[in-house]
Amino acid sequence: MTKEAYIRKRLDDNFQLWCGRASLWGCFLFLSLGVLDYLATPENFFLFLRYRAVVSLFLLAGYFFTWRLPKAYLSMLAYAMVASAAIAIELMILNFGGHESPYYVGMILLGISVVGFIPARFSFHIIIAIMIYTIYLFPILIIETITGHRDFVIANAFMVLIFSTLLLMRYMSGNALAAELGLQYDLEQYRERLEMVVEERTAELRHAVKDLKKEIVERQRAEAERKLLQAQLLQAQKMESIGRLAGGVAHDFNNILTAILSYAELSLMKLPEHDPLRGHLISIQEASEKAATLTHQLLAFSRRQVLEMKVVDLNDVIRGLAKMLTRMIGEDMPLELRTGATTSFVRADEGQIEQVLMNLAVNARDAMPSGGRFVIETADANPDDAVLKSQGVADPGQYVMLSVTDSGAGMSAEVRERIFEPFFTTKELGRGTGLGLATVYGIVKQHGGHIIVDSEPGKGTIFRILLPLTAGPGPQQAAEPSGPLPEGTETLLVVEDDELVRGLIDEVLAPLGYRVLTTASGDEALKTSDSFPGHVDLLLTDVVMPGMNGRQLAEVMRTRRPGIKVLFMSGYTQDALSTQGILEPGVALIHKPLRAGTLARQIRQVLDSVG
């Protein structure tokens, strides 16, 4: 089946489904709105009721025909049902006020019900809109004499505007739906091709087993290759939509945060100790630090999950996230926190653990549309728990258990087996990507943990996550020294492609006595260095830049100016830069977003270092 045929078939299936729903709903709605007839025009109530009864019976008959007619005739049936409803409304309009009748709103409601809710080809919706408007306008123009021109023009303009807006929205949503169906087709084709490759490879391996009389060995190898191909498929599917997330955006955002943090720090240094503005500046610093943490997580994710592991207290993590989770799930679903674990220190990337909790919270919220019970708790894992051991947890006593419980609809065994598959979702079209629980599974596994799901239909769901315990955190890193910033008289060559950050660095370092040569690229830096007659003591360069990167620039500068010292700056972690081969491990590196104090002290430290 071609992609076009696949999309057409899926659209036809959706059209049939929504035609049936709309006709049944229209039958009920058209009849029930007779109450308004009784209130608005009692003298016409029984006449209008007959109109409504005839149309409702026709819509009810249309509902049954929807599932029995060939799909090629569904459009004609839909046109007939819409035309019958529009004619009935037009008869009511002519009997109750004509061109001044407020019943023209019924035409608008009919258009919203059909164009707004029934997915179909765009040409179908254009015909429907023209049909409804024509049935409204022509009888009035033919039969009546227009006296209330202003009201008539306003009603027509309003109707045309509503229908135009509906058609525009339908056109946009139709294109989005077609694109999504095309992506589904591509994924299915890719999976089928990969399955064919697996089947062909397995057949070849079995044939080799018979020829070489090594059946057991060859089957094991075939199984290993099959699992490897499946793992590659799952990874490709998972990362296809989210792997290229926003590394560049986060990098630019780090540069903006550099200016916010450093200017706030410079302002704090210049304000008296008891100035009331200091509190505002400190709040700006704290908010920017939180934003910087988020950008680090985005950058780590864009580099294929290079995690920043540190010892964290799991109890503190969930307590710190409680307010955000409460806003996320809504007030009709109270959050219960139970920090029962006596030892809850784990070595983890705190941002990724928060991501796990947020994904599970979204999953619970969607499972309980009418509200319910949502519990997050930590507990000591029972070292003798047979269930945990059966799930591959060799020594449960070496883990802390994080449980997330909801009282939602629960899951069947079939769904439970597939929930961690990327792109698998039980939500309606457009409500979910199918990546939330797959991401949870990947993060837990990256942390050396286990995840176990308990769920039955009608009994809610419990996710149990086990993370390896670790010793408590060591001594806290000393806070950055306060007081005057260290000064110097050396010459610094600064290379930064972002103008805002470049200006900030000059504003921080120049008042400290340094001679600052600022450039925007590696090529410009080399030209500036060649033309500068004096001694250049230190190269301060961004790592990731257009053209020549920071490492390449440093290598050239060391050949032209032996003895020059180098300090790199980047929004990426040192682990990530080393893993990608951009920097050697152990080089001097300052992380973005930059702080004025940190920048000045680290420059002084590099300048004063031996070698």
319-348: per-residue pLDDT in tens? 888 888 888 787 777 888 888 888 888 888
End-to-end CA distance of the chain: 68
Residue 376 — φ and ψ, nearest 5°? -120, 125
Quote the pLDDT of residue 44.
87
Q: What is the CATH number of the domain that holds 426?
A: 3.30.565.10
Residue with tokens 């009603």: 155
* pLDDT tens sequence across 192-243: 888 888 888 888 888 888 888 788 888 887 776 677 556 545 544 544 444 4
Domain check: are 136 and 260 in the same one?
Answer: no
Domain check: are 403 and 446 in the same one?
Answer: yes
Quote the pLDDT of residue 518.
94
Cβ distance 267 to 280 under 8 Å?
no
Domain check: are 132 and 164 in the same one?
Answer: yes
Domain check: are 514 and 424 in the same one?
Answer: no
* pLDDT tens sequence across 414-447: 888 888 776 677 766 555 555 677 778 877 887 8
Tell me which residue range forms the domain holding 439: 310-468
Global pTM value? 0.39
Domain check: are 437 and 297 in the same one?
Answer: no
According to DSSP H, which parts of 271-368 are helical?
Answer: 277-302, 314-320, 322-329, 350-367
Identify whether 178 is part of a domain.
yes
Cα dihedral 155/157/160/164 (nearest 10): -130
Distance (Å) of CA 439 to CA 243, 357, 572 = 12, 11, 22
Q: What is the mean pLDDT of each run of 10 residues along the chain (611 residues)?
A: 76 78 84 85 88 88 82 83 89 83 85 83 87 88 79 84 86 80 81 85 85 83 69 49 51 71 76 79 78 59 54 89 82 82 84 86 84 88 68 72 89 83 66 67 81 88 90 57 80 91 89 94 94 94 88 92 91 56 70 84 89 62
Number of domains composing the chain: 4
Domain check: are 462 and 532 in the same one?
Answer: no
What is the edge-to-edge ordering of all strands in the sheet holding 589-591?
515-519, 491-495, 538-542, 565-570, 589-591
Quote the pLDDT of residue 66.
82
Quote the pLDDT of residue 235.
47
Identify whether 202 is part of a domain.
no
Quote the pLDDT of residue 191.
85
